[in-house]
Chains A and B, each alone.
Chain A
Amino acid sequence: DIMMTQSPLSVAVTPGESASISCRSSKSLLHSNGITYLSWYLQRPEKSPQLLIYQISNLASGVSGRFSGSGSGTDFTLKISRVETEDVGIYYCVQFLEVPLTFGSGTKLEIK
């Protein structure tokens, strides 16, 4: 199985500042078709996860432009610019290159 390692475990951010979350996979997520099978999700408190970013850097429909993704191969980063209170929750990366799909352990974002 592909292992997904997220860091940090939690991050506390002052509103208006930025936050970055790292995700590393134990195997390259780049398929021979040129697509990288990596997505980011946000799970707000007591809610189901919602898709934020797919294929490293593509913003899902309706997602704020304050979210951006970068990386390649096995190393990926989610950046949240100008953090707002509504960004509070747990962020997960997931690989869907292979089954079983595997998720990172999650990064909890809190507001200072």
Chain B
Amino acid sequence: EVQLVESGGGLVKPGSSLKLSCVASGFTFSSYGMHWIRQAPKKGLEWIALIYYDSSNKYYADSVKGRFTISRDNSKNTLYLEMNSLRSEDTAMYYCAKSLGARPDYWGQGVMVTVSS
């Protein structure tokens, strides 16, 4: 059974940094691309980043480009999202999702990030 478990969220002040993790199990993590997708409170879904299975390519939404970095450690079956210069508009539930041909396939349960002074 595919499982994706996010962690690392919390309440932080504007301008600060945070690093999210997503531990994967139930599939060969090193063979699949992975997404980060977020959802602001009471809002819709916003894709923010994609990383290829071998980290050879990374793509970002304009809203986070230059501030967020997606990475992975295939030896630890773990996906990361490093978030810098956080803004109030980054407040959201952050989901990691397994990618199948670029399609978000299985999603984690999400981790909440709140940016507030």
Contacts and interface: CB of A to CB of B under 8 A. Distances in A.
Interface string B57-84: 0010110000000000000000000000
B111 to A, nearest CB: 11
Contacts of A106: 44-45
A105 interface: yes
Contact of A103 (B46, B101, B107, B108): B46
B102 A100 contact: no
Contacts of A50: 107
Interface in B88-106: 95, 101-106
Interface in A82-97: 92, 94, 96
Contacts, number: 55
A103 B44 contact: yes
B103 A100 contact: no
Interface of B, secondary structure class, is strand
Interface size class of A (residues with CB under 8 A): 20 to 34
A28 interface: no
B35 A101 contact: yes
Nearest to A102: B47
Contacts of B102: 37, 96, 99, 101
Interface string B30-67: 00000101000000111100100000000101100000
Given A92-B44, A99-B50, 16 more contacts: A43-B45, A48-B107, A48-B109, A49-B95, A49-B104, A49-B107, A51-B106, A99-B59, A99-B102, A100-B61, A101-B37, A101-B50, A101-B102, A103-B44, A104-B44, A105-B44
Complex A-B, nearest 8 residue pairs according to Cβ-Cβ distance, in ascending order: A101-B47, A99-B59, A48-B107, A96-B102, A103-B45, A100-B61, A106-B44, A96-B103
